[in-house]
């Protein structure tokens, strides 16, 4: 374990510098045991009894994420959705929550279809508008304000510090889905958030081969204890092999995200004047409505995600996606390979995604190859 104060990139590359005490190995083993031996006097002094409650393979990715987010503790879950849903299910009955109109569609669908069954009333607002947020919270009754920034699929930006102030003034918690920002580009807890959630399936793992989710807390309080117990009793646990792969991905988080950011910025700027596009949505562009807030609260870049709107409409967008050769037509984001997706096709009727929108997840390939592939896919309609 390293004790010096080091840059987060160093902590990530060395996964906190942990080595295996018994062998000196610089990579810790995967723990597959589902059960742990009791001491002869019937105690569990080594702290673990059963695999659903805990797994030693979680320790290192949880500790690393806690360090990267500057939090008090973290939990890994079986998916990003499992992590997010655990938060809502732990609020208790009669909770009022506020959520964004523009957010990961799967969570919006869960809130619309299931929140009521858990006694939760959800209000959806434009969280980029602080006035709308102030009007939506109900002092003494709102338990949680959930934001996502930058948010799928328009990459709208919410002011984290201002949202935290509004939430706290109403007696509510602020939770941030920071999946697209990653701990490299954003530290929501330092800006006043209480909880940070990631779909670790995306940038944290980064190789499109693990489904996982995480929560990080600013404080180890009673709500955190409930979340921890929600994971072990609800059983939304990550497998040991997946936890190992997640940590392996996290060790290269910084170079992957830094390169994806640089390429996304370059691609967004190059596409701005493209004759077949009516808009490029990327917080790194000065034209983006969230640019000023993003410039203030993001660190060193604006992320690897952008969207483009195809001038000739939905069919032209789908046709352009059909012609790419380097980009993969697939959902998800944050992997080393670049992905393109016609977003309205997946999000359904109440999606804020315009029908002509293609979402781009920029990977770590050569940005020139990505740009020319996209350019020829857009141009070959001529
Ligand atoms: C921003 C965001 N939040 C949450 C999720 C859900 O995560 P998972 O697919 O790991 O359950 C996703 C998945 O696409 C996402 O993009």
Mean pLDDT of 213-218: 99
Q: Is-contact 218 195, C-beta < 8 A?
A: yes
Strand ranges across the sheet with 277-281: 277-281, 305-310, 357-361, 339-342, 328-329
Residue 74 tokens, joined: 């973290």
E strand segments, 181-302: 195-199, 213-217, 277-281
What is the rounded CA–CA span in Å between residue 202 and residue 30? 21
Q: Is 213's C-beta closer than 6 angstroms to any atom of ligand 1? A: yes
pLDDT at res. 178: 99
Mean pLDDT of 305-328: 98
* Residue from 241, 191, 195, 161 nearest 90 by CA: 195
Share of the chain above pLDDT 90, in %: 96
- Catalytic hit among 52, 134, 248, 262: 52
Sign of CA dihedral 164, 185, 78, 333: positive
Pocket test for ligand 1, best of 99, 104, 153, 154 (most atoms within 8 A of CB): 104
Q: Is the pLDDT of residue 4 over 80?
A: no
Question: 201: number of CA atoms within 13 Å, CB side?
Answer: 14
Q: Is the pLDDT of residue 257 over 80?
A: yes
Residue 125 tokens, joined: 């607002």
Instruction: Please report which confidence band the pLDDT of residue 341 belongs to, taking 50, 70 and 90 as the band edges.
Output: very high
Instruction: Please report which confidence band the pLDDT of residue 246 belongs to, taking 50, 70 and 90 as the band edges.
Output: very high
What is the rounded CA–CA span in Å between residue 191 and residue 165? 10
pLDDT at res. 138: 98
The reply to whether omega before 196 is within 30° of 0 (cis) is: no
Residue 215 tokens, joined: 């929560």
Question: Cα(42) to centroid of ligand 1, in Å?
Answer: 41
Can you give the length of the chain in residues?
Answer: 382
Q: Is the pLDDT of residue 135 over 90?
A: yes
Pairing of strands 142-148, 95-100: parallel
What is the rounded CA–CA span in Å between residue 170 and residue 154? 28
pTM of the model: 0.98
pLDDT at res. 183: 98
Share of the chain above pLDDT 70, in %: 99
Could you report the per-residue pLDDT of 172-214, keeping only the tens digit for each?
A: 999 999 999 999 999 999 999 999 999 999 999 999 999 999 9
Active site (annotated) includes residue 4: no
pLDDT averaged over the chain? 97
Angle between helices 80-89 and 222-234 (to 10 degrees): 120
Q: What are phi and psi of 308, to 5 degrees?
A: -125, 145
The reply to whether omega before 285 is within 30° of 0 (cis) is: no
- Catalytic hit among 108, 143, 187, 202: 202
Cα–Cα distances in angstroms (integers) from residue 12 to residues 110, 247, 254, 353, in the given order? 33, 9, 8, 34
Neighbours of 380 (CB within 10 A): 11
Pocket test for ligand 1, best of 202, 206, 210 (most atoms within 8 A of CB): 202
pLDDT at res. 288: 98
Question: 162: number of CA atoms within 13 Å, CB side?
Answer: 16
Instruction: Please report which confidence band the pLDDT of residue 382 belongs to, taking 50, 70 and 90 as the band edges.
Output: low
Mean pLDDT of 240-257: 98
What is the rounded CA–CA span in Å between residue 64 and residue 92? 30
Question: 312: number of CA atoms within 13 Å, CB side?
Answer: 13
Plot region of 151 (φ>0 → left; ψ -120 to 50 → alpha; else → beta)? beta
Question: Cα(306) to centroid of ligand 1, in Å?
Answer: 16
pLDDT at res. 1: 62
Instruction: Please report which confidence band the pLDDT of residue 104 belongs to, taking 50, 70 and 90 as the band edges.
Output: very high
Instruction: Please report which confidence band the pLDDT of residue 54 belongs to, taking 50, 70 and 90 as the band edges.
Output: confident
Question: Cα(357) to centroid of ligand 1, in Å?
Answer: 19
Residue 69 tokens, joined: 């987010």
């Amino acid at each position: 374990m390293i004790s010096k104060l080091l840059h987060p990139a160093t902590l990530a590359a060395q996964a906190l510098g942990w080595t295996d005490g018994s062998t000196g190995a610089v990579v810790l083993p995967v723990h597959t045991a589902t059960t742990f031996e009791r001491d002869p006097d019937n105690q569990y002094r080594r702290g673990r009894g059963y695999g659903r409650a805990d797994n030693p393979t979680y320790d290192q990715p949880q500790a690393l994420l806690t360090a990267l987010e500057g939090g008090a503790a973290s939990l890994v879950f079986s998916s990003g959705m499992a992590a997010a849903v655990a938060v809502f299910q732990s609020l208790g009955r009669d909770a009022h929550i506020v959520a964004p109109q523009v957010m990961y569609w799967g969570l919006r669908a869960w809130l619309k279809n299931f929140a009521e069954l858990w006694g939760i009333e959800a209000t959806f607002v434009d969280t980029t508008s602080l006035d709308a947020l102030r009007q939506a919270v109900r002092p003494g009754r709102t338990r949680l304000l959930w934001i996502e920034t930058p948010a799928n699929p328009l990459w709208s930006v919410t002011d984290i510090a201002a949202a935290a102030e509004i939430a706290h003034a109403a007696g509510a918690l602020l939770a941030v889905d920071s999946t697209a920002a990653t701990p490299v580009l954003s530290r929501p807890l330092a800006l006043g958030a209480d909880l940070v959630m990631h779909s670790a399936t995306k940038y944290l793992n980064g190789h499109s081969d693990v489904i996982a989710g995480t929560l990080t807390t600013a404080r180890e309080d009673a709500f955190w204890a409930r979340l921890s117990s929600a994971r072990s009793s609800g059983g939304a646990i990550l497998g040991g092999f997946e936890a190992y792969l997640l940590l392996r991905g996290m060790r290269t988080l910084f170079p992957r995200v830094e390169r994806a950011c640089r390429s996304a910025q370059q691609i967004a700027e190059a596409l701005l004047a493209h004759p077949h596009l009516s808009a490029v949505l990327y917080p790194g562009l000065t034209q983006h409505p969230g640019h000023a807030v993003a410039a203030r609260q993001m660190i060193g870049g604006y992320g690897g995600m952008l969207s483009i709107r195809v001038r000739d409409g939905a069919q032209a967008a789908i046709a352009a996606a059909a012609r790419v050769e380097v980009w993969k037509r697939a959902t998800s984001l944050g992997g080393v390979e670049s992905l393109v997706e016609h977003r309205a096709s997946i999000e359904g009727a109440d999606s804020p995604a315009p029908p002509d929108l293609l979402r781009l997840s920029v990977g770590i390939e050569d940005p020139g190859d990505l740009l020319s592939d996209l350019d020829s896919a857009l141009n070959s309609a001529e």
